Structure 1
């Protein structure tokens, strides 16, 4: 085991299965850019560091491949999937269509209690921003949109969004730390919540779409700034996944 690894890396099996916990740990490591785009994911090193079997590591890597976070390269094996500007643009287009429509219908259909729950979750998102707790921002933002789709009655649309959630959260993780983003996001989300409370369907739609277009612009800029200097060494042995968030 790497000298940086410690007993804290061992998986607590008391609540979830070992596979589920390993999947969460690896997903978080990729979302936090602990593992860089294009970086090789060496099974032996991951087994040693996580303290799990190779069969579990292989299952987890296959699952992450279905989420679009890992890709298999011939003669190289699994690597962290690269962030593709064109794919990112398409994801934001899909989000604008589905989330904008869901926001409109949520304003029209949701009861007052659900909208107040959305407002409360938004408060938690902004509090997490204030603590620089970006993992908390990601988690509560996902909760916000799940509830908004519930309020809209668009369950099939939410299934489509869920299928993209890992990639959406990867893009969110890249944009939420941008300079000034906390205040900007707070203003954007407040516009959406206010429109929902007023039952202004058009304003809710427009606020949702404007928010997505803004983060899409930030993501495009971030992706454009990436250079070959960011390429990983391809060796995971110096990592300590315990520090990934």
Structure 2
């Protein structure tokens, strides 16, 4: 087996940056899934043992996650998992709503900018939303909705808009897991906020598409804020 070329090794060892990204991804995923709950301390030594990496990349990973809003770092107290509060929900959804407006303006300001392939994919996802609404397990609905939203964003080709929107999907998944959201009218939501949004995009109706997008996100915010009232800082549900 050939091991090297004139310019160096075929396979380069993992760098410090890559190790930091690996540690951040693992910790982030654990927070999103609810394995690390709001208020839980994130002890560097314990994390290094769990991840089998050195302490420095773990420290840098925690700093990165603090900038993303998943972790809170306090002097003399160390790192802990950030709370999910009303401000964080509103912040995430305001940004996602704004990114969606940018995407729809870009896509619908020039006739024919959306390719037939993109429209075909959006149509398929909109039809899936109706199909999945009839299933008892709501996880298919959630995954399809994330894919539908991201497909609209990705159709723009605007790299920053695509990246920022995708990154914030992790926050939304965390909200769902922590708050145990139950969607009671999935068929109605699918018809009103997915199928109708696809039809507005297909028809090039920018004003209607923007209206539906905004209404969809406003409803999500109100749903989360109502649930947050029943959540303790540590993520436990308050007794009624």
Q: In the alignment, is the contact (CA less than 8 A) between 1:40 and 1:78 conserved in 2?
A: yes
Change beyond 3 A, Cα 1:172–1:229: closer
Task: List alignment gaps of at least 5 residues for structure 1.
Answer: 1-12, 232-245
> Is 1:83 paired with 2:84?
yes
Q: In the alignment, is the contact (CA less than 8 A) between 1:68 and 1:166 conserved in 2?
A: no
Pairwise CA distance, 1:191: 2.0
Task: For residue 75 of structure 1, give the secondary structure of its aligned residue in structure 2.
Answer: coil
Change beyond 3 A, Cα 1:55–1:183: farther
Task: For residue 225 of structure 1, give the secondary structure of its aligned residue in structure 2.
Answer: coil
Task: For residue 71 of structure 1, give the secondary structure of its aligned residue in structure 2.
Answer: strand
Structure 1 residue aligned with 2:99: 98
Task: For residue 87 of structure 2, give the secondary structure of its aligned residue in structure 1.
Answer: helix
Of 88-97 and 77-86, deviating more is 88-97
Task: List alignment gaps of at least 5 residues for structure 2.
Answer: 1-13
Question: For residues 11-36 of structure 1, what are the alpha-carbon distances to aligned partners after superposition, in whole Å with 9 as ceiling and x for unaligned?
Answer: xx9xxx55444333221111122211
- TM-score, normalised by the number of residues in structure 1: 0.69
Q: In the alignment, is the contact (CA less than 8 A) between 1:106 and 1:149 conserved in 2?
A: no
Pairwise CA distance, 1:216: 0.6
For the aligned residue pairs, the C-alpha RMSD in angstroms reads 3.4
Q: Which has the larger radius of gyration?
A: 2
1:214 and 1:116 map into 2 onto residues whose CA distance is: 27
Higher RCO, 1 vs 2 (CA within 8 Å, ≥6 residues apart)? 1
1:148 and 1:208 map into 2 onto residues whose CA distance is: 11
Q: In the alignment, is the contact (CA less than 8 A) between 1:37 and 1:83 conserved in 2?
A: yes
Pairwise CA distance, 1:136: 9.3
2:190 and 2:179 map into 1 onto residues whose CA distance is: 14
